[in-house]
Amino acid sequence: MNAFSYTRAGNLGSALDELAHDEAAMIIAGGTNLIDLMKEEVMRPGRLVDINRLPMKKVEVLAGGGLRIGALVTNSDVAYHPEVGTRYPLLSQAILAGASAQLRNMATTGGNLLQRTRCYYFYDVATPCNKREPGSGCAAINGFNRIHAILGASEHCIATNPSDMSVALAALEAVVRVNGPDGERTIPIGEFHRLPGDTPQVDTNLRKGEIITAVDLPAKGFAKHHAYVKVRDRESYAFALVSVAVGLELEGGRISEARIALGGVAHKPWRNLEAEALLRGRAAERENFAMAAEALLRGAVGYQHNTFKIELAKRAVIRTLAQAAGKES
C-alpha cells in the first residue's frame, strides 16, 4: 500500500475543499472496497478524507411520501429500517443478498453506489486493464470472462457492476443527491452509472469534486408485488452471475406497471423500458414473462466463458416475475 495522508472532515464544506485543493484526495467512509483496492495497489490516493462525522446518517420520510436515505447510513441499517422493510422490501432483500453481515455493518449507501468492479483483471496490476490503466487493453475479452458482461459492453471493457443495492434502486427509480463545487444537484439512478464505451475508467456521472449526500426513494415502493433473485456460485458472500429486481402493479390479474432491473450483466444496472412496456395490460402469466425476458436480453453478446449467462438471465427474469406476481414461491 502506498503512503497517504489522512484528514477527518468536520462538515461538508471542508470535505469539498479537501477534494478541490488536492487532486490525489479521495473520500472514505466504510472503506470496505477502497481499502482492498489500496492494498492491491489498484488505487493509490495521496490523501483520504474521512466523512464519517458528516450528518448523513439518517433515514427520513419525505413530504411527498418518499424516503431519503443519507449517504452514510450503513447497508445493514437500511435493510433493517422499518420504513424500508414495510414500504420498500425489494431494497431490503437486495441488500441482504449482498456481501456478509460484517461488511453490511460497515458499508455505506454512498459507498455501495461507488464500489468498483470485481473483474479479476482490474484487481491484477500485472495484467492489462483499460479501467485501471486507460489504453492498456482489456485482458478479460480474450481471458477468463465467466463473470463478465453480456449487455452494454464495448471493445474496451466487459466488466460488470457488482452492486446488489443498485439493482433494486434502479427498479425503484431512485434519485441520487450530490453536492460539489457547483452546489447541489440530483441524478436519476438510471443516469448515475455509465456504460464503458471508450472511457471505461469512468464509472459514474459524478463530476469532479462531488460527494453523494443521500438517495431519495419515490413514494411507490411496489411493496405488494416485488421479488429479488440472485444467481451466484455459492449461497453467501458471492457476487451475482445474474440478479433480477422486479416490481409489479397488478389489477385484476393483469399487469398495469412493471419494473425490471438486471445485475451482473452490464457495467451498470440494466433496464429496458420497451421490454417493460410489453407487459402492460397483459396477464401475469409465464408466456408473457418469457416474452419480456426475450426482449430484455435482445442484443446480449457472450464471450468464450460467459455465453451461458444469456439463457441464465432469461430464466432468472421469468422466475423473478413469477415470484413478484405470486405465481411461484
In a domain, 150, yes or no: no
Backbone angles phi, psi at 119, to 5 degrees: -55, 130
- Could you give the count of Cα atoms lying within 13 Å of 293 in the half-sphere of its Cβ? 22
Between CA 76 and CA 30 the distance in angstroms is 12
Give the CATH number for residue 10. 3.30.43.10
In a domain, 287, yes or no: yes
pLDDT per position as a tens digit, 262-306: 999 999 999 999 999 999 999 999 999 999 999 999 999 999 999
Question: 33 lies in which domain range?
Answer: 5-52
Cell triple for 101: 453481515
Sequence-distant (6+) residues with CB within 8 A of 79 are 85, 91, 92, 95, 96, 104
In a domain, 264, yes or no: yes
pLDDT per position as a tens digit, 14-67: 999 999 999 999 999 999 999 999 999 999 999 999 999 999 999 999 999 999
Between CA 199 and CA 194 the distance in angstroms is 9
Global confidence as pTM = 0.98
In a domain, 316, yes or no: yes
Q: What is the mean pLDDT of residues 145-171?
A: 98
**DSSP per-residue letters across 98-165:** SS-HHHHHH-BHHHHHHPPP--HHHH-TTS-BTTTSTTS-BTTTTS--TTS-SSS-BTTB------SH
* pLDDT for position 1: 76
pLDDT per position as a tens digit, 196-230: 999 999 999 999 999 999 999 999 999 999 999 99
Domain count, the chain: 2
Between CA 313 and CA 329 the distance in angstroms is 18
In a domain, 202, yes or no: no
How far CA 90 is from CA of 10, 174, 266, 269, in Å, comes to 34, 12, 20, 15
* pLDDT for position 117: 98
Domain final position from 52, 71, 86 = 52
In a domain, 284, yes or no: yes
Cell triple for 262: 438486471
Give the CATH number for residue 282. 3.30.390.50
In a domain, 303, yes or no: yes
* DSSP β-bridge partners for residue 154: 157
* DSSP β-bridge partners for residue 61: 67
Q: What is the mean pLDDT of residues 166-191?
A: 98
In a domain, 301, yes or no: yes
Torsion of CA 93, 165, 297, 310, to 10 degrees: -80
Between CA 77 and CA 81 the distance in angstroms is 6
* Cβ proximity of 271 and 170 under 8 Å: yes
